[in-house]
């Protein structure tokens, strides 16, 4: 069985680690903020404990874990997953985890940035990702406060832009690689297309590793808060020498948590949303007009958030699911204790301005089809209300061809905007007498949406 591998090095687990510091305000200048936040963030050689989720669970249950119980969680995670310098991958009989993750690729992404003896890249996560996404994948790296939107927190196992069906269904390797290659337009997430293919694959493996480890950590926290009395242990690593059978029984329970998370990732390739082709004889102009009707209609009701006239509407003070799990949008001031243990300040989530033609999840027709059909996980963007097979003719819900109508209409909006700008520019130019040279205003200095230095727009 895989216990020998799972328990290897348990006696080397260090106890008594502490990590935490107050968040710095976003009002600091870019250079000073980056330096100070880097010092506040802590060591890159150890994973940061999910203190925010722990506090939320403790507050909900009106209890508090002891320092020993909290350390038990850290120790169990280290036995199973290792450290940022030396990652491990658990092995046991219930799930074939080796099908899920390539340990050699994982180690390419781990540790300090540099080259190994064979000249292969190493430490890719620390070189390219950790400043934003953090060592533990919590989305709270040293640069996070400067970015809007915040970097993704992998530890919930929820990813926005993917081909798979269901909010809690993980992305495929191809989905993650696509994001790495293309970046996310309209955000600080750049393209890493310049990296070698094996380096991209290594980063994909590391994102999966951080996400699975993070979900297991959340499960350990939840079960500990929910089940333990003051002197109980979920996993007591001190039993390794004195009572290994008892420790093995405890670890079997933890391994079941790992298996539950791993199965979701193993099953993800079987849950891909297949995009149907457009019907034959498709009339694009008619489709755009039908899409416009659906856009404003009561069933699709896209215009509730995305008006196509002057950009997005702000129908309510809404936030993404990562924020709403911790903060109450109706009483944000009550969230101060969570800020004190490392939560990022809440930021509103804004509907996309479709007239700009910037699509974070990809601008291909099939990308837009999936966003409309299945929604965007972790956000207020819902899945479309689809008509089930065998539904009556007068069922008002949407059919697959209706999704294509909406795709065609959405893709037409940037072109319409450009045409309107061109017509307005022509009208303005014609209104100026040939002998008059207009005085053009100087570019206005403003802050970019990445909370950085002044830039010209």
Contacts of 443 (CB under 8 A, 6+ apart): 456, 457
User: Measured between alpha carbons, how far is residue 348 from residues 84, 150, 165, 300 in Å?
Assistant: 32, 11, 26, 23
User: Measured between alpha carbons, how far is residue 59 from residues 221, 307, 332 in Å?
Assistant: 13, 40, 16
Residue 105: its H or E element: helix 103-109
Place of tokens 């005085």: 439
pLDDT of residue 91: 79
State how far the Cα of 188 lies from the Cα of 132, in Å rounded to an integer. 9
Q: Could you tell me which residue, 299 or 421, shows the higher pLDDT? A: 299
pLDDT of residue 426: 56
Return the CATH architecture of domain 284-315+351-409.
Answer: Orthogonal Bundle (1.10)
- Mean pLDDT rounded to a whole number for the chain: 84
- The three-point CA angle 374-380-381 to 5° equals 35
Q: Could you tell me which residue, 444 or 86, shows the higher pLDDT? A: 86
* Residue 9: band (very low, low, confident or very high) from pLDDT cuts 50, 70, 90: very low
Using the predicted structure, report yes or no on whether residue 454 has a pLDDT greater than 60: no
Residue 227, burial from CB neighbour count under 10 angstroms (0-12, 13-18, 19+): exposed
State how far the Cα of 170 lies from the Cα of 190, in Å rounded to an integer. 21
Which has the closest alpha carbon to 126: 139, 138, 137, 112?
Answer: 112
Give the residue-averaged pLDDT of 13-20.
39
List own/partner pairs for 324-327 with CB under 8 A and 24 or more apart: 325/56, 325/156, 326/52, 326/53, 326/56
Both structure tokens of 203 = 């980063």
Residue 115 bridge partners (DSSP) = 121
Using the predicted structure, report yes or no on whether residue 171 has a pLDDT greater than 80: yes
Write the DSSP assignment of 353-396 as a string of letters. Answer: -GGGT--TT--SHHHHHHHHHH--TTSS-PPP-BPPTT--TT--
Give the residue-averaged pLDDT of 400-422.
84
The answer to whether residues 254 and 78 touch, using CB atoms and an 8 Å cutoff, is no
Q: What percent of the chain has pLDDT over 90?
A: 70
Summarised one tens digit per residue, pLDDT across range 91-137 is 777 788 888 999 999 999 999 999 988 888 999 999 999 999 999 99
* Residue 417: band (very low, low, confident or very high) from pLDDT cuts 50, 70, 90: low
Give the residue-averaged pLDDT of 58-80.
95
State how far the Cα of 348 lies from the Cα of 314, in Å rounded to an integer. 10
Residue 398 bridge partners (DSSP) = 386
Summarised one tens digit per residue, pLDDT across range 199-245 is 999 999 999 999 999 999 999 999 999 999 999 999 988 898 999 99
pLDDT of residue 220: 97
pLDDT of residue 313: 58
Q: Give ranges for CATH 1.10.760.10 in the chain.
A: 284-315+351-409
Give the residue-averaged pLDDT of 31-46.
52
Summarised one tens digit per residue, pLDDT across range 318-357 is 999 999 999 999 999 999 999 999 999 999 998 999 999 9
Distance of CA 388 to the CA centre of its chain: 30
Q: Could you tell me which residue, 24 or 335, shows the higher pLDDT? A: 335
Of the spans 11-25, 63-77, 433-447, which averages the highest pLDDT?
63-77
State how far the Cα of 22 lies from the Cα of 146, in Å rounded to an integer. 16
């Amino acid at each position: 069985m895989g216990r020998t591998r799972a328990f290897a090095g348990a006696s080397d687990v260090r106890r008594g680690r502490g990590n935490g510091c107050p968040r710095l305000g976003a009002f600091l200048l870019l250079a000073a903020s980056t330096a100070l936040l880097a010092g506040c963030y802590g060591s890159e050689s150890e994973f940061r404990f999910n203190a925010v989720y722990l506090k939320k669970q403790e507050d909900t249950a009106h209890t508090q874990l002891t320092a020993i119980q909290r350390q038990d969680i850290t120790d169990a995670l280290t036995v199973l997953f290792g450290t940022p310098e030396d990652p491990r991958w658990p092995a046991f009989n219930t799930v074939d985890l080796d099908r899920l993750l390539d340990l050699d690729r994982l180690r390419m992404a781990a540790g300090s940035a540099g080259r190994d003896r064979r000249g292969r890249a190493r430490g890719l996560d620390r070189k390219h990702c950790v400043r934003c996404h953090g060592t533990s994948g919590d989305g709270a790296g040293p640069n996070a406060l400067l970015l809007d939107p915040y970097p993704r927190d992998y530890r919930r196992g929820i990813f926005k832009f993917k081909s798979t069906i269901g909010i809690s269904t993980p992305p495929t390797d191809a989905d993650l690689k696509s994001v790495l290659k293309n970046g996310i337009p309209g955000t600080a997430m750049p393209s890493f297309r310049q990296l070698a293919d094996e380096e991209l694959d290594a980063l994909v493996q590391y994102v999966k590793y951080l996400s699975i480890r993070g979900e297991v950590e959340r499960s350990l926290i939840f079960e500990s808060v929910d089940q333990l009395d003051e002197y109980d242990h979920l996993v007591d690593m001190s039993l390794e020498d004195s009572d290994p059978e008892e420790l093995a029984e405890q670890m079997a329970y933890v391994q079941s948590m790992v298996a539950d998370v791993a199965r979701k990732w193993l099953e993800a390739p079987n849950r891909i949303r297949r995009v149907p082709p457009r019907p034959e004889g498709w009339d694009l102009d008619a489709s755009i007009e039908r899409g416009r009707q659906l856009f404003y209609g009561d069933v699709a009701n896209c215009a509730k958030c995305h008006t196509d006239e002057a950009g997005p509407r702000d129908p309510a003070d809404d936030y993404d699911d990562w924020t709403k799990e911790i903060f109450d949008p109706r009483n944000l001031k009550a969230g101060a204790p969570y800020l004190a243990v490392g939560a990022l300040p809440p930021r509103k989530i804004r509907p996309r301005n479709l007239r700009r033609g910037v699509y974070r999840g990809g601008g291909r027709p099939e990308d837009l089809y999936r966003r409309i059909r299945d929604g965007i996980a972790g956000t207020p963007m819902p899945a479309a209300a689809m008509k089930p097979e065998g539904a009556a003719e007068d069922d008002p819900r949407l059919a697959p061809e209706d999704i294509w109508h909406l795709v065609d209409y959405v893709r037409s909006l940037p072109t319409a905007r450009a045409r309107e700008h061109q017509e307005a520019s022509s009208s303005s130019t014609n209104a100026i007498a040939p002998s008059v040279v207009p005085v053009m205003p100087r570019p206005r200095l403003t802050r970019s949406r990445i909370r950085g230095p002044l830039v010209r727009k």
